[in-house]
Amino acid sequence: MKSKSIFLITFLTITTITSAIEVGGHIMEDTVWNPENNPYLLIGNIFIDEGVTLTIQPGIQIKLGSALLNNNNYVNGEYFMLVGEESVAKMFWVDGSIIAEGTEQDSIIFTRDNDDLYNHWGTIYFNNTSQKSKFEHCLFEYSSLICIDFCNEAKGVVSGKVSELSIKDCTFRDNYYGIFANNNDQVEITNNTFYLQDGMNPEWLNGSYQYVEINNEDENQADILFSGNCLPDSNIVKIYNCNILMSNNILSNVILSSENYTHYYISENQILSNYTVNAYYINSIINREETYIDNNSFESDPNSSCSFYLKDGIISNNSFNNIKLSLSHPSYSETHIFSNNIVYGNRIYLYDDYQFINNVIDSCFLDSSYLVNVELNNCFLKLTGTDIAAANHIDFLNCSIFGVFDFYNLMFQNCITMENIPAQNNGGNNIQIEESALDSIYVNYYGNDFHLIEGSLAIDAGLDTTGYYYPFDLDYNTRVWDGNGNGSAIIDIGPYEYVAPALGGIQGFTYNPTTGGPVDYVLLKINNEPGEFTFSGSLGNFEFKLPAGVYDVYCERVFYDDVIEYQMEVFDGQFTVVFIPMIETVDVEKNEIISLVDDFNLTNYPNPFNPSTTITFELSAEDSENAKIEIYNLKGQKVRTLHPSPNRSLGMKSVIWNGKDSNNKAVASGIYFYKISTDKKTAMKKMLLLK
């Protein structure tokens, strides 16, 4: 096959290589690369001019000129220095935008032009003027860096000053950095995998390899959604001066820090060995970030020195295994919550006015060498020792506390312990037991199951503390409950309430009404209270456990409009179901606002229905072309497409859905969405099939 060349600028010299289209120079108008010309060989640097979009279609292979990455070549600037507009290791320079959307079957590949081990290409560099760009189902391998000048080193696959960027479902393999960006506005990094296979050249000693580093140097707020990513190797994710929404990741080293007012929502992550979470800027005391950490798993080797640092916020429903917990900093005086966590091993450093509620703290050393005023309510503690400073004061209320500890400046009330509590430390109603009594109190004390058993002396033996926080125990069962059946409901001692019923709550689904599919990783907050939050999962599903009451649900996600669902009523032991439409702010391809105004007067009757329902709608003149009705299930899967009658009359129309899918098979009972769409408008509602 004859090779092809594209002359993007007149002075670029292009050589021919069999079976490749050779590219380089400036792209000065919107351009599409398609797989008919595979592979694309960068023999010169590509410059995407301001206002120009390069669209890369599925199945494209892009091979960039590469060179050996080692210290000698870097120091001498032989291959990785941009001289004029050229460098030996090739790069993209983006003043406009790139839209590279592959598919699961046909990914887009960015790779080097040869198979020499430790050869690397440069970077995809975004300049100040770049517009929103998107990478989906791409493979990035063997990128390194380009020295733009002596003060600007653009590292890794994606680097530079990114305004709006979406990176989804991509694979990063053997790159010096994955993402190294700053001065951001909105960045979405979701469902990507970062890993090393051959690793970096052992002769490359210019700094530690890192997966992701994002630093917002601008005064404007930057929002980073970092969710669903897998980063299995022991390398670093650093995010500075940004609002962070982080969920459902597998991580190792993590550093989050800020000098500005920012907020962090961190949930459902597995954070494994050899990491540090820094939620305050170590060398400064001017930061004011709000941090909310919920339902994560932190785990490390028992012999490691891994630490978790937090300045302020709410920490709830997490597990910490062999982690040093350093909670807040002595320079601050704010109140913090540490609730419903399970902590095993290592040391807990206490500062400031922390409230500990419904926690299991097992085999830990309690250290409060700084001035503190700490409350521990309804906790279970097995301590290996304590170190309490003279000016400190720590109150234990409704706690079970065992192991090795000093009584110095500790106060106990309604607690269970094996120790004889001195009068000056005794707030009243404490219960002293022998070790032999443990089996009559807990399901399996030595097996670390601290639930209460029938007849336990901890049942209904506490002093009510529910005013401190929502009334639930460590299992999210109701507090307070009449566990001994004597007609008087009193809180139990410890983190678990005996035979109490489970809370109800809100369950639901976040979806895109334009496509009918789920919207993943939406941040949802109850009554806009930041500590009561969750994220929808990869299929858009979510669940809150809540006491009976009426709640508003606030929803937000980068690249989507904020949504509020008002007045959601929750009943004891029941879940209220809500389906939340999330509207994309800007369509990436058409760069226009999506309309979701229901101009169609869309409805269906009957609803609920069995076995069929009539969907009615109204068409205007501009909507009469290409209108269709689509039916979706809760997973966002299309069940059926229905078309209006072929006549051209306007006004009210209707179609009948018989409760069957496109294969004429009856669907199951449940909630379904029906969506009407034309070329530019769409509307969606839900209906219930009951058999």
Is residue 13 scored above 60 in pLDDT? Answer: no
Q: How confident is the model at residue 634 (pLDDT cuts 50, 70, 90)?
A: low
- DSSP per-residue string spanning 269-291: -EE-SS-EEE-S-TT-S----EE
Tracing tokens 């295994």 back to the chain, one arrives at 321
Residue 429: CB atoms within 10 A of its CB come to: 14
What pLDDT is recorded for position 649? 57
Is residue 148 scored above 50 in pLDDT? Answer: yes
Q: How confident is the model at residue 580 (pLDDT cuts 50, 70, 90)?
A: very high
Pairing of strands 253-257, 243-247: unpaired
Is residue 570 scored above 90 in pLDDT? Answer: yes
563-570, strands of its sheet edge to edge? 533-535, 523-526, 549-556, 563-570
Given CA atoms 356, 360, 364, 365 in this order, what sign does their dihedral have? positive
Please, is 217 exposed, middle or buried when counting C-beta atoms within 10 Å of its C-beta (0-12, 13-18, 19+)?
Answer: exposed
What pLDDT is recorded for position 682? 72
Tracing tokens 């299995």 back to the chain, one arrives at 232
Cα–Cα dist 443/550, whole Å: 36
Which CATH number does 603-689 carry?
Answer: 2.60.40.4070
Cα–Cα dist 475/497, whole Å: 9
267 touches 533 (CB < 8 A)? yes
Higher-confidence position of 17 and 2: 17
Residues 6 or more apart in contact with residue 366 via CB below 8 angstroms: 347, 348, 350, 381, 383, 385, 386, 387, 388, 405
Q: Is the peptide bond before 480 cis (omega within 30 degrees of 0)?
A: yes
What's the rounded mean pLDDT across residues 351-361? 84
Q: What separation in angstroms does the CA of 139 have from each of 163, 167, 310, 627?
A: 22, 11, 35, 37
What's the rounded mean pLDDT across residues 56-68? 97
Q: How confident is the model at residue 391 (pLDDT cuts 50, 70, 90)?
A: low
Q: Residue 175's closest CA among 231, 101, 249?
A: 231
367 touches 394 (CB < 8 A)? no
**Would 504-581 and 603-689 be classified into the same CATH topology?**
yes
Residue 219: CB atoms within 10 A of its CB come to: 7
Q: How confident is the model at residue 285 (pLDDT cuts 50, 70, 90)?
A: very low
pTM exceeding 0.85: no
Listed by start position, the domains of the chain span 1-220, 504-581, 603-689
- DSSP per-residue string spanning 59-98: T-EEEE--EE--HHHHHHTSSSB-BTTB-SS--EEESSEE
What pLDDT is recorded for position 12? 35
Q: How confident is the model at residue 252 (pLDDT cuts 50, 70, 90)?
A: confident
In three-state secondary structure terms, 405 is coil
Please write the tens of the pLDDT for every residue from 71-86. Answer: 999 888 889 999 999 9
Q: Side chain identity at 480, as an amino acid letter?
A: V
Read off the tokens for 35. Answer: 């797989």
What pLDDT is recorded for position 660? 93
Is residue 99 scored above 50 in pLDDT? Answer: yes
Residue 357: CB atoms within 10 A of its CB come to: 27
Q: Side chain identity at 221, as an amino acid letter?
A: Q
Read off the tokens for 248. Answer: 């459902």
Task: Give first-to-last CA distance, the chain, whole Å.
Answer: 61
Residue 110: CB atoms within 10 A of its CB come to: 27
Mean pLDDT score across all residues of the chain: 85
What pLDDT is recorded for position 42? 96
Tracing tokens 């009449």 back to the chain, one arrives at 482
Q: What separation in angstroms does the CA of 382 have from each of 432, 450, 485?
A: 15, 11, 29
Q: Side chain identity at 75, as an amino acid letter?
A: V
Cα–Cα dist 577/569, whole Å: 10
Cα–Cα dist 197/83, whole Å: 31
Read off the tokens for 250. Answer: 């597998």
Is residue 64 scored above 70 in pLDDT? Answer: yes
Residues 6 or more apart in contact with residue 663 via CB below 8 angstroms: none
Higher-confidence position of 670 and 553: 553
Cα–Cα dist 186/198, whole Å: 32
Annotation: CATH topology of 504-581? Immunoglobulin-like (2.60.40)
What's the rounded mean pLDDT across residues 154-179? 93
416 touches 458 (CB < 8 A)? yes
575-581, strands of its sheet edge to edge? 541-546, 504-511, 575-581
